[in-house]
């Protein structure tokens, strides 16, 4: 049998990979990357097919047909998208069925029986998805009715506890690549606050906008203007590489200073400089000279560093 495995590198899909190997399946592991994952690289696995679904994902996050979970996580629509893509890959590989590491009732939004069935239906994958960790508790799939797998091989794991999966992993000597949370930023309240602000003020969200949400302190200066201030050397370097005209690049010279990225209306530049000064080592000075650069032209302005009280007004 030939299968496409939705593989994240987490505990559950790593276990299922091992189970499929024991079944002697021909496995086509598929990792779906989207920009809202906190990991920078795909897990390491031979023959892993990596598919970037970031563009589809931005639309889903903005307008999820089946709503959000606790934060801005549109889990049901996300799973539907993943199964649709997995089905395309299955066709391409002329495979028999799709396999996932999902566990019944493990996640509140997308893994109750009713939701699993809805997701299969909406993705046009009814009967096509085998979930070995909970399969004994789920309706039969085509793989069983067509005799490709024996129902007795399916496990009956259920619920949020990781105990059974962890003890299986220990016995099988498996070290998962990712944490159980899967590193999805859409479940992170701080990230979601910045994302909600972006969706409120920007109609057309680009890949770069999401990348910027992952770094720095964010300040909303007006409907069209934002300032992002680096928090450490790595973020400062990233900010410098992400400046793109007509953005301004701000910093305080000759002292410990963050790099800051200003996007928007120039009339807010002085306020942005004052915030940048507040995070520099000169924050206690009465006035601070802040450099601002557009393309290759660097100018300077003297500002009074923003007070803590004022910071709170602009911070997202």
Binding site for ligand SF4 (CB under 6 A): 73-75, 78-79, 110, 182, 184, 186-187
CB of 139 to ligand SF4, least distance (A): 21
CB of 178 to ligand SF4, least distance (A): 11
Nearest to 98 by CA among 107, 88, 109: 88
**What are the backbone dihedrals phi and psi of residue 48, each rounded to the nearest 5 degrees, phi first?**
-70, 130
Beta carbon nearer to ligand SF4, 73 or 268? 73
The CA angle 53-54-57, to the nearest 5 degrees, is 85
The rounded distance, in Å, linking the Cα atoms of 268 and 252 is 17
**What are the backbone dihedrals phi and psi of residue 207, each rounded to the nearest 5 degrees, phi first?**
-55, -40
Collect all residues with Cβ–Cβ distance below 8 Å to 148 and sequence separation of at least 6: 1, 96, 97
CB atoms within 10 A of CB 310: 14
Beta carbon nearer to ligand SF4, 25 or 186? 186
Pairing of the two strands 129-130 and 297-303 = unpaired
The rounded distance, in Å, linking the Cα atoms of 196 and 242 is 21
Beta carbon nearer to ligand SF4, 134 or 187? 187
Return the bridge partners of 187, or none: none
CB of 99 to ligand SF4, least distance (A): 17
CB of 125 to ligand SF4, least distance (A): 16
CB of 46 to ligand SF4, least distance (A): 24
Nearest to 94 by CA among 176, 20, 1, 177: 1
Beta carbon nearer to ligand SF4, 7 or 249? 7
Structure token digits, residue 98? 């799709």
Beta carbon nearer to ligand SF4, 186 or 272? 186
Beta carbon nearer to ligand SF4, 119 or 277? 119
CB of 187 to ligand SF4, least distance (A): 5
- Is residue 47 a contact partner of residue 29, using CB atoms and an 8 Å limit? yes
CB of 96 to ligand SF4, least distance (A): 24
Pairing of the two strands 26-33 and 2-6 = parallel
Beta carbon nearer to ligand SF4, 86 or 303? 86
């Amino acid at each position: 049998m030939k299968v496409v495995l939705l593989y994240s590198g987490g505990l559950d899909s790593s276990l299922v990979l091992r189970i499929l190997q024991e079944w002697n399946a021909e496995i086509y592991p598929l990792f779906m990357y989207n920009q809202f994952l906190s990991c920078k690289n795909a897990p390491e696995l031979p023959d892993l097919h990596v598919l970037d679904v970031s563009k589809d994902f931005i639309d889903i996050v903005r307008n999820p047909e089946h709503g959000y979970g606790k934060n801005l996580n549109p889990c049901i629509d996300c799973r539907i998208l993943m199964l649709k893509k997995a089905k395309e890959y299955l066709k391409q590989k002329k495979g028999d069925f799709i396999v996932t590491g999902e566990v019944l009732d493990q996640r509140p939004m997308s893994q109750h029986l009713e939701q699993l069935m809805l997701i299969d239906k909406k993705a046009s994958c009814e009967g096509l998805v085998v979930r070995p960790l909970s399969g004994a508790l789920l309706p039969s799939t085509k793989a069983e009715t067509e005799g490709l797998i024996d129902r007795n091989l399916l496990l009956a794991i259920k619920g949020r506890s990781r105990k059974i999966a962890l003890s299986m992993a220990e016995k099988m000597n498996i070290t998962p690549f990712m944490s159980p949370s899967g590193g999805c930023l859409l479940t992170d309240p701080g990230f979601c606050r910045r994302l909600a602000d972006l969706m409120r003020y920007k109609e057309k969200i680009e890949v770069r906008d999401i990348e910027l949400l992952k770094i720095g302190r964010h300040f909303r200066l007006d409907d069209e203007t934002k300032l992002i201030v680096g928090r450490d050397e790595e973020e400062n370097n990233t900010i410098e590489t992400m400046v793109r005209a007509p953005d301004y690049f701000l910093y305080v010279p000759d002292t410990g200073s963050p790099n800051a990225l200003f996007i928007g209306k120039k009339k807010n530049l002085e306020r942005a400089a004052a915030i940048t000064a507040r995070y520099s080592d000169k924050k206690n000075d009465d006035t601070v000279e802040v450099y601002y650069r557009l393309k290759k032209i660097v100018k300077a302005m003297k500002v009074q560093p923003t007070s803590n009280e004022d910071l709170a007004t602009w911070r997202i």
